[in-house]
Amino acid sequence: GRSWAGRRHRSVSTTTTTLLPSRITEGNRSGIETCAGEKDKRRHCFATWRNVSGIVEIVKQGCWLDDHNCYDSTECVEKKESPDVFFCCCEGNMCNEKFVYAPDNTQAVQTPSNPVTQKPPVFTTLMYSLVPIIGITAIILFSFWMYRHHKLAYPPVLVPTQ
């Protein structure tokens, strides 16, 4: 599958610090921020970015708190197929410094070794349309035949009138 990666010059981290390019201030020129959170919660890093005509544009990077999708992921990898804004999260110091887009191709249908030619959908449509019509016609013809057969076998009895 296709994959590409974006890299920043500034450092990023999870449990200790994380890069927030949109929040770099006079007091914090390094672009590194400490991720604070409750002691029983896990701390992660995240990155969001866009790919505009092959140019990677970082939207935001920072701390991400206690998301089971990020557990034990040491690399920041987006696996969704063609999102508008790419997102990845990871666990570990500076793990969102490098982020990767690698779509998950495990859902791709594998071709069998002996491929069977598929019937066109027109055939299926015709079968679903014609079978009921032919069935109903056969029932009507059979009913008419039974009615005529019964009528001829037992002609109506005329009651004499006096």
Distance CA 72, CA 111 (A): 33
- Predicted local distance difference test score (pLDDT) of residue 111: 41
Q: Which fold has domain 4-101?
A: CD59 (2.10.60)
139 or 5, which is more confident? 139
What does pTM read for this prediction? 0.50
Query: 107-158, pLDDT tens digit by residue?
Result: 444 444 455 555 568 888 888 899 999 999 999 999 999 998 887 777 667 7
Per-residue pLDDT for 95 more than 70? yes
In percent, how much of the chain has pLDDT > 90?
20
Burial of 82 (0-12, 13-18, 19+ CB in 10 A): exposed
Confidence of residue 12 (pLDDT cuts 50, 70, 90): very low
Q: How far apart are CA 33 and CA 149, in angstroms?
A: 94
The residues pairing with 54 across neighbouring beta strands, listed in sequence order, are none
What is the band of 9 on the pLDDT scale with cuts at 50, 70, 90?
very low
Give the DSSP H or E segment for 64.
strand 55-65
Phi-psi region of 128 (alpha: psi -120 to 50; beta: other; left: phi over 0): alpha
- The least confident of 6-10, 43-47, 70-74, 122-126 is 6-10
